[in-house]
Amino acid sequence: MKVVITEAALHDLGDISDYIAADNPVRAESFVDELIDRCESLADQPLGSPLIPRYERFGVRRRVHGSYLILYRIVGERIEVLHVLHGSRDYETILFGDE
C-alpha cells in the first residue's frame, strides 16, 4: 500500500517541529523524521492500529508515537495520514466536528 501524508498532516508536522525547535532544533528535526518514518511504516500493517472508538464508521485509525497520535484511514490501496497531533489535543473535534 502507498502512504500519502495529507497537507493537514504536513502542516501538523511543521507545527510540531516549530514547537520542539524553540528548545532544541536538532531534536525537532530528528523527531519529525521519526514521525514520518512511523507514518511510512503503516504500509507494513495498515490494520495494525485500532479504529477510534465511537467513530468506527469513519474508518479512522490511530497509531501512537510517544505523546503523539498519527491519525489515518485506508482508502482503497492507499493509506491517508490525516493528522499528526499531540495526544492532549481534542483530536475527535478536529476530525469529526460536533458529530
- Residue range 12-41, pLDDT digits in tens: 999 999 999 999 999 999 999 999 999 999
User: If you write DSSP's letter for every residue of 22-57 in order, what string do you get?
Assistant: TT-HHHHHHHHHHHHHHHHGGGG-TTSSPBPTT-GG
Q: What is the DSSP letter of 99?
A: -
**What average pLDDT is seen over the chain?**
95
Full set of structural domains in the chain with CATH: 2-96 (3.30.2310.20)
Cα atoms found within 13 Å of the Cα of residue 45, Cβ hemisphere only: 6
pTM of the predicted model as reported, rounded to 2 decimal places? 0.93
